[in-house]
A and B are shown apart, each in its own frame.
Chain A
Amino acid sequence: MTNSRDLKAQTESLVGRLRRRQVTGSFSVSLATAFLLRSVISTTRWTDVDTLIKLVKNVGRKLVQAQPSELAVGNIVRHVLRVIRDASNDEATEASFMEHAEDKNLFTSQSHSVFKQSTSLLDYSAKDSSARSAGFYTSSSSMINLLGDNGLRQPPNIIQEINEMINELENMYVNIWDQAMEHIHTNEIIMTLGSSKTVEGFLKAAAKKRKFSVVVAETSPRYLGHDLALSLCQVGIDTTVISDSAIFAVMSRVNKVILGTHAVLANGGLIAISGTRLMAAAAKHHSTPVVVCMGLYKLSPLFLYDEDSFNDLESPENVLSFDEGDLVDKATILNPYYDYVSPELVDLYITNTGGHPPSYLYRLINENYDPEDTVI
């Protein structure tokens, strides 16, 4: 009982922090989500996979609703669900091997629950093939049986898998930064904007061995570009700060645009800090390659149905402060935080698993999430 009460308190606390924006940024949000889900799985009692999935989904839904603009929360929940499903599928397939060995009739084993939850049209064939592969393995497992290696099956260790996932999440930056040398060459001029930890580390990793210059757009109205420029200067990178309106003018001298992002949607479009679209479009005009650095946890299986649906409007204070009373009265002032960048404007995504073109993203999504969990 204390366990479940603890859990509830933990969940509520994270929901509250998300809602109050005490925890922000894709990375910290996804770590917090992963930790919470780990304790959900380890502390509650569950006997079958379906209840576990339902449980995780319930918690996940609360978190997603608390802060819909943090897409990474949903991504982590979906990934955990995928881990659970995979583990249970492995177990079920193994069970079906055993059943298959006893019952030679193909059609009974077909009704086994491996694909029970699937609903798509083509599953009938999918079931069929699983039954066939089961048949294939029967012979080999019976060979093993002969050798007396019977009944040594590992129970699925979901917790272990999730720990691995958290580990991977923590090492994510390093894996991305390691690829920097492949993409940044000596004497290149790189343009970027905002202040992304991924991009910052990426540039610094390259700067250890190569000499290049970076042009940073200041990214008004928050001027995050100033922070980035400062930090790059401190490690001795040749840095230039320009105003956002000069992006197009400077673009002709730039060799490569490297961007960070808030989230990547299923079609390859970016939800990134406002100004990114401007930079990507200018790069397209000059045929400058646009590279996006991102951890895989930022990849979301959702589609953008409406260009504004994932956007946030911030306080316009930074754009036009309240002191300038005359104007504030007369004009409507908007300060959108994000931009949507369509996939045609991006040339390469560098993730912790390597570089991928936009057309390959659907594959990454299939590998990381189950299609059934797209809507949590």
Chain B
Amino acid sequence: MRWARDIYPSSDTYSESETTWEKGIEKAKRNFRDLAEAYSLGKVIDRGGSKVSRLAMSKVAISVYRLNKGCERILTKEFIEIIPYPILNSNVRTEIEKLYNSRINTSSTTMAIKKPLTPQSISSIVDVDDDSQQFDIVNCYKGFLEANPDIPMPIAAIESLIEFIKHSKATTLSEFMKSLEEGSESLKSSTRNSISLSAGTDLFLRFVTRTSHDVTNLDACKEHLMESGKVLVEKAIAVRHKVAELGVQFIKDDARAAACKKRFKVYVTESRPSSLGLRSVKTLRKSGIPATVILDTAVGYVIGKVDAVFVGAEGVVENGGLINAIGTYQLAIVAKAANKPFYAVLESYKFLRLFPLNQYDLPTHTPDLLSFPDLDNRFSHISGHMRISDKYEHNHKQVDSKDETDEVEDYESNNPTVDYTPPEYITLLCTDLGVLTPSGVSDELIKLHLY
């Protein structure tokens, strides 16, 4: 995995270390090509901010370099050909033009150019540049999540899209739609696991398309969308309670004691690598429910003591299968083998238009997931493993974990975070639309998307 900051060259590389401008341009182009390729392959995650502004920043650096050398030839076109993203293209153009103009008009630019641009100053330039695109939807989304960690991702996505509409300066409907689509695209590409997020954006976009058909006045349309979006969000929050209400009926009462109060205990899997299981145990205990954490590997051991399995979901796909944190699939298989009912509890805004045929059909699957290390590494890995198992056999003690971490580093980022549970393992889905069988999901999806 490569991070954007590794590839994206900092601006001073251009202004200081390169001496001839041809060299500088060549290097810039090379970097761009790398970056564009990496993005299109989905190899790069951008953590620090939106990738749009990052790229724009490097573009500024190039134009700065070009101006420094005093060359008047316009290279814009060449750069545009390298990078296929339309938003970036306009950024390149405006950025180069702006710097070019300012150089002609004032002499102060030369000063600015001489001292290396810091990322902050660059991003401030970019911010002034074009408002409609510079409303940073990704940061907005992250802000929503930070402000309220309990908010479901799809809802945060819808809320950020509403903010996006608020800031949108589009004048025609098609422009507006296009910018919305781009906004949701950049939102999707901002996280490694975009599944549940895309459920939200798709739902909202679908809603927008439907509404926009009948509207001639764009402002009215925007206003309407903003209002109805808010209603949608409010409803979505209320929906959770409804789901809980329906779900509670499936929990058997051990004691059959006081009215409607059920007595039960919960085993919670640790759910590595996110270890979210630990958090849910805390909340369960806080509300007075006895809960125990078990290792993910202890599922088979504990299943005999269990009456039913309940899981949440990041998304539900068209055939009624689930996409959820890694480990759900094997939990479902174990439950099926032990003849225990397997219930999924979720909200209807998590329905996805996706039809995975197997695990590797998921959008989160990338070629380098679970890839093998190159040969040299592999040999050392195997020999290391042999050594460990020898030792284990000889003195039957705990494997020295230090040895292992030396040999196999960073396997976590190499591992999937979600898996797909096929519908035949799911007993029922408990949603706000009622209790559904897996085959009922496609019906609801069609209702949502066709009518």
A residues apposed to B, CB below 8 Å: 106-107, 119-122, 124-126, 128-129, 132, 135, 266-268, 303, 305-306, 359-363, 366, 371, 374
Contact = CB atoms under 8 A, between A and B. Distances in A.
Nearest to B320: A359
Nearest to B444: A122
Nearest to B448: A122
B114 interface: no
A126 B451 contact: yes
B211 interface: yes
A125 B231 CA distance: 11
Which has the most chain B C-beta neighbours within 10 Å: A121, A135, A359, A374?
A121
Interface in B198-256: 206-207, 210-211, 213-215, 224, 228, 231-232, 235-236, 239, 242, 249-250, 252
By DSSP majority rule, is chain A's interface helix, strand, loop, or mixed?
A: helix
A122 B433 contact: yes
B322 interface: no
B443 A362 contact: yes
B439 A125 contact: no
Contact of A125 (B207, B214, B224, B433): B207
Given A124-B207, A124-B228, A362 B250 contact: no
A303 B439 CA distance: 16
Which has the most chain A C-beta neighbours within 10 Å: B231, B235, B242?
B235
Contacts of A267: 427-428, 437
B218 to A, nearest CB: 14
Contacts of B433: 120-122, 371
A110 B35 CA distance: 47
Given A132-B213, A303-B428, A306-B252, A121 B348 contact: yes
Contact of B348 (A122, A132, A266, A361): A122
Interface string B428-451: 100011111101100110011001
B451 A121 contact: no
Which has the most chain B C-beta neighbours within 10 Å: A120, A135, A360?
A120
By DSSP majority rule, is chain B's interface helix, strand, loop, or mixed?
A: helix
24 contacts: A107-B224, A120-B239, A121-B235, A121-B349, A121-B432, A121-B433, A122-B448, A125-B206, A125-B210, A125-B448, A126-B447, A128-B211, A132-B210, A266-B435, A266-B437, A267-B427, A267-B437, A303-B435, A359-B439, A361-B437, A362-B436, A362-B439, A362-B440, A374-B434
B36 to A, nearest CB: 37
Nearest to A374: B434
Contacts of B236: 121
A262 B69 CA distance: 89
Given A121-B432, A125-B451, A135-B214, 5 more contacts: A107-B224, A124-B232, A268-B437, A303-B250, A363-B440
Given A362-B437, A363-B443, A129 B210 contact: yes
Shortest 8 CB-CB contacts between residues of A and residues of B: A362-B440, A359-B439, A129-B451, A305-B249, A106-B214, A121-B235, A371-B434, A121-B239
Which has the most chain A C-beta neighbours within 10 Å: B211, B242, B252, B427?
B211
B235 A359 contact: no
A120 B432 contact: yes
B233 to A, nearest CB: 10
A276 to B, nearest CB: 19
Contacts of A363: 440, 443
Contacts of B214: 106, 132, 135
A366 B231 CA distance: 26
Contacts of A126: 447, 451
B347 interface: yes
Contacts of B347: 121
A4 to B, nearest CB: 34
A79 B124 CA distance: 64
A258 B434 CA distance: 31
Nearest to B214: A106
Contacts of A361: 437
Contacts of B206: 125
Contacts of A371: 433-434
A106 B215 contact: yes
